[in-house]
Chains A and B, each alone.
Chain A
Amino acid sequence: MPLTTTEQNGARIVTVNAERIDAAMAIQFKEDMRLKTESGPDRIVLDLSSVTFIDSSGLGAIVAAMKQLGQGRKLDLAGLTPMVDKVFRLTRMDTVFTLFPTLEDAFASATGGSGTGISG
């Protein structure tokens, strides 16, 4: 599962460079996420803007990725494309995760600040 990471405003952005998170790759996704997030900032933002398809296995893998972060850490989701967004809404997972329309939106709000934030 091709994942790239960058850091911004004290958070870590994990970008999924794949079009699908589905049954065939759910286990690999979970493991790759664990490697990318087991240490590091409390806030992880998962950039899903390249992902056009997830199924229930993919959804479960994203939930698992959040659970494996552990106490006090947060997984936010950004850039959900229409069908992916629909899966989160239908399963009510949009009440569990904070969903941002774009990556910019994920950093525009004042939430999740760890460390000093510079306003503006």
Chain B
Amino acid sequence: MTRQRNPVLTDSFNIVFGATELEARAALAHLMEQLAVLGLPAHRAGDIQLVLAEVLNNVVEHAYQGSGQGEIHLHMVKSPEQLDFCVCDAGRPLPGEELPKACFPDLNVPTDGLPEGGFGWCLIHELTSALGYERVEGRNVLTLGFDLLTGA
């Protein structure tokens, strides 16, 4: 078997799936298996799984409004230093066509006023080293980067 002459130690992975919770979960599980095979450090796997779960939930519930109709494209490129993702869909744009702010909700409130939501984007911002959003020809394009050499 001849060796491929890749000058860069890069792997990529593409998956397209329907915009339902079940398919998103299956796609993510498959991706995590691939990353384990590619030698992703275990301490980064949890962060990546959480961030992508949040992103995919947002696409299913908000971009496609829970309709179950539509496709999601997940593209990954991995080098030893960096893991980059692109999540694309044809659903509704983010409000104002920009990334939501990164602050965690205020918890200094009485118990019955505690927030039950609003944490997703905070976690996404916190755990990624790069995050970008563009609306291109009726499609959402979200890019995420994870630094594999550092990271909590």
Known pairs A83-B50, A86-B46, A95-B107; A56 contacts B123 (CB<8 A)? yes
B138 at the A interface (CB under 8 A): no
Known pairs A24-B22, A90-B126, A91-B123; A55 contacts B54 (CB<8 A)? yes
- Contact (Cβ within 8 A) A57 B50: no
Tell me the dominant secondary structure on chain A's binding face.
helix
B35 at the A interface (CB under 8 A): no
Known pairs A90-B126, A91-B119; A22 contacts B53 (CB<8 A)? yes
Contacts of A61-98 to chain B: CB distance below 8 A? 61, 63-64, 66-67, 82-83, 86-87, 90-93, 95-96
Q: Please give, as numbers and ranges, the residues of chain A lying within 8 Å of B49 by CB-CB distance.
A: 53, 83
B137 at the A interface (CB under 8 A): no
Known pairs A87-B50, A91-B122; A57 contacts B112 (CB<8 A)? no
- Interface bracket on B: 20 to 34
Q: Please give, as numbers and ranges, the residues of chain B lying within 8 Å of A86 by CB-CB distance.
A: 46, 152
A3 at the B interface (CB under 8 A): no
Q: Please give, as numbers and ranges, the residues of chain B lying within 8 Å of A92 by CB-CB distance.
A: 104, 107
In Å, the complex CA distance between A60 and B60 comes to 18
> 20 extra interchain contacts, Cβ-Cβ under 8 A, other than A55-B50, A63-B116?
A23-B53, A23-B57, A24-B21, A24-B25, A53-B49, A56-B54, A56-B118, A56-B123, A59-B119, A60-B117, A60-B119, A67-B112, A67-B116, A82-B46, A86-B152, A87-B50, A90-B104, A90-B123, A90-B127, A96-B114
